[in-house]
Each structure stands twice: as structure tokens, then as C-alpha cells.
Amino acid sequence: MPDKPRILVTSWLVEEDDPALQVLRDAGCEVVMGRSPRPRTVEDMVQAIKGIDGVVAGSDNYSAPVIEAADRLKTIVRVGVGYDTVDLAAATKKSVQVGTTPGTNHHAVADYAFGLMLALARRIVRHHNSTAAGKWQREAGPDVYGKTLGIVGTGAIGKGMARRGRGFSMTVLAHDVVRDEELARALPFRYVELDELLRESDYVTLHAPLLPSTRNLINAERLRLMKPTAFLINTARGELVDLDALTDALRAERLAGAALDVFPKEPPGDHPILHLENVIVSPHVAGGSTEANLAAARMACESVVSVLKGGRVAYCVNPDVYGGARA
Ligand SMILES: NC(=O)c1ccc[n+]([C@@H]2O[C@H](COP(=O)([O-])OP(=O)(O)OC[C@H]3O[C@@H](n4cnc5c(N)ncnc54)[C@H](O)[C@@H]3O)[C@@H](O)[C@H]2O)c1
């Protein structure tokens, strides 16, 4: 019998006293807490991964050097759905199964993105800050109800946005490389090309994953298509937006405002966009509702245990792993 399996928990979503960790302990694992307020770097992870059998992971660095430094790693389960910080080829080569926990936080992200849209439109953060500072400054802002919402990416979160938008009597336009025409007819909403969506929408919200084809999807040229009265909301991945181009567009008042929960570099340091008045920012927190965190943590821990027992990781994102040595 090898040593007790050691499971590293780095996701900030999993609390030290999270009931989900009992799933690991009941399966005879040692839980190694390694949470960090910011994603852990490659140097940090190269050390942390040694002697670890499985990871309940956040958006830390799982690049090739980290995976190659692992000596007994069998699985990485990302608490959430984004796995762009994991080098899947390196994981597959080392027979490490990589999984995610889909279906646990899409309501949370859609609620948050919708909240950002309302806050941007009606200057809720600015009103809070000025009132708390003893001032009494009132600013008008546009309605959300009845306006046009443009959704880029109609997966689990994008569909949630479409439902919420229709609840506010919005005209909903969507763009995706895969279309759910049945849902589009039912709600209804209309699929259009990206440029048309950008031209027509009062609010544009991004819900596509980070892929080579979506990196800098919203660049200077595309920002120029948007109405000067429009707002951009990004709760997907920072790299979808050219942050410098967005800063220029906001400064030049070619766009009314933006809300960003995600950044190309997290935390974003002292980027000039953080100082603009018509911008709301938050620390990659859209998916982290109380209910979503509990559900995702439990699913991740169960998935790790399944691998340790010789089974497969749930929602595997590197299925080639089963074609190699492990199969
Ligand atoms: N801020 C947060 O806390 C947080 C939490 C969860 C997810 N996310 C991000 O949100 C993204 C979306 O999550 P989801 O659960 O809806 O994922 P999903 O996989 O259900 O949906 C993604 C959709 O994007 C579409 N897509 C792919 N390429 C596209 C392109 N070029 N243009 C338009 N659409 C494209 C896909 O076809 C799919 O329909 C995730 O990939 C993740 O990066 C952020």
C-alpha cells in the first residue's frame, strides 16, 4: 500500500472547513491546503506539486514545467470550467487526467454579469462611493429594461444571460460558433455575426472561452463598431479583450463604460483602465456564489477520489489520456 494519497487544494473557492473536503478524508486522503489569494506562479507550483497525487485546483499555473516536476500526480480537477492555465498536452503525456466542474457556477456568473450591467448603467458604484464620502451627487444613466443585449458565446452562462435579458424585455442578439437554434426560437433571441452584434447592442457581454480564436476578440477595430453609448461586460477571460484598446476607447468616449471581472494578467497591477471613472472592476469572482462554491468543491473532490480508485475524472478535458499508457 503506497503512502496516503496527498491532495493539494489550491482553489480559493474551497474553504479550510469546507464540508466537501470530508469526501477526500473519508477516502483516506491527506488534504494539503495551498490556497492563495492570487493564482500561484510556475516557480511556486513546481515546488508545491511534488509528492502530490491529485489537485483540487484554482487558476494556478499548470504549465509543462509544473506537470513535469510532479512525481506522483494522477489528476488535476479545476474547480470551475476554465482550464486555460493547464497544459493539456503535458498532462496527457504524463497520464494526468484533467477535469472540470461544469454546471456548478453558470447561474452565479450570469447573476454577477447581469448585476455588473445594471451597476454600470445606473452608476451604482459611483453613487455609493460619492454618497459614502458625504456628497449628494446624482447622475442619470440609461435603462437596461427594454434595451438590446449582445451575448458573445451562448454556452451555459450565455444562455443564462439570454434568459435574464428576456426577463427584462430586452432584445437579445447572440453570436456563437455553435448555435442553439431551438433555444433561440423559444426565448426568443437572434443569432447574428459578431460585427452586427457589436453595432446593434446597448450592452455587450462576453461568455466565450479563451481559445486561439477568441484571444483579443474584442480589439481596437471591433471596439470601433460599438455605439458610443454602449457598455462592455467581461466575466469570461481577460485575454478576450485588448485592454489597452479598451482603455483608449473609454478615454476617447467611443464607449460609455466597461465592467471587468477578469484580466489578461491577474491581478492586473496598476493598469490605467483601473483609474477610469466609467469602469467597474472585480477580482475574478463572478463564479463564486456560496451555493456554486459548495457544489463545485464537492464535485471536484468526488472526481479526484474517483481517479484515485482507478476510475476516470469527471468532465475530462484531455480524453486522449485514455488512449495512452493509462488505457
Ligand atoms: N469570471 C468567472 O468567475 C468565471 C466563472 C466561470 C466561467 N468563466 C468563463 O466563462 C466562459 C464561458 O463559460 P460557460 O460555462 O458558458 O462555457 P460553455 O463551454 O458552456 O460555453 C462557451 C460557449 O462559447 C462558444 N464559443 C467558442 N468559441 C467562440 C467564438 N469564437 N465566438 C463566440 N462563441 C464562441 C462555445 O461554442 C460555447 O457555446 C468560460 O470558458 C470561462 O472562461 C468565468
Q: How many angstroms is it from 6 CA to the middle of ligand 1?
A: 31
pLDDT band at 1 (very low <50, low <70, confident <90, very high): very low
DSSP string for 112-164: HHHHHHHHHHTTHHHHHHHHHTT----------TTSEEEEE--SHHHHHHHHH
Q: Has 253 been annotated as catalytic?
A: no
Q: Which of 220 and 82 is assigned the larger pLDDT?
A: 220
- Whether 2 shows a pLDDT value over 60: the answer reads no
Q: Pick the catalytic residue: 40, 106, 207, 284?
A: 284
Cβ-based neighbours of 225, under 8 Å, separated by 6 or more: 195, 198, 199
Q: Pick the catalytic residue: 222, 237, 239, 298?
A: 237
Q: How many angstroms is it from 153 CA to the middle of ligand 1?
A: 6
Q: Has 15 been annotated as catalytic?
A: no
pLDDT number for residue 74: 98
Cβ atoms of 60 and 279 closer than 8 Å:
no
Q: How many angstroms is it from 154 CA to the middle of ligand 1?
A: 8
Q: How many angstroms is it from 82 CA to the middle of ligand 1?
A: 8
* Cβ of residue 107 lying under 6 Å from some atom of ligand 1: no
- ∠ at Cα 99 (98, 103), nearest 5°? 165
pLDDT band at 12 (very low <50, low <70, confident <90, very high): confident
Distance CA 154, CA 149 (A): 13
Q: In what order do the strands lie in the sheet with 54-57?
A: 30-33, 6-9, 54-57, 75-78, 97-99
- ∠ at Cα 91 (214, 296), nearest 5°? 70
Domains of the chain: residue spans and CATH? 6-104+289-323 (3.40.50.720), 106-281 (3.40.50.720)
Distance CA 207, CA 185 (A): 20
- ∠ at Cα 187 (285, 180), nearest 5°? 75
Write the pLDDT tens digit of every residue in 193-212. Answer: 999 999 999 999 999 999 99
Write the pLDDT tens digit of every residue in 125-168. Answer: 999 999 999 999 999 999 999 999 999 999 999 999 999 999 99
Residue nearest to atom 41 of ligand 1 (CA): 209
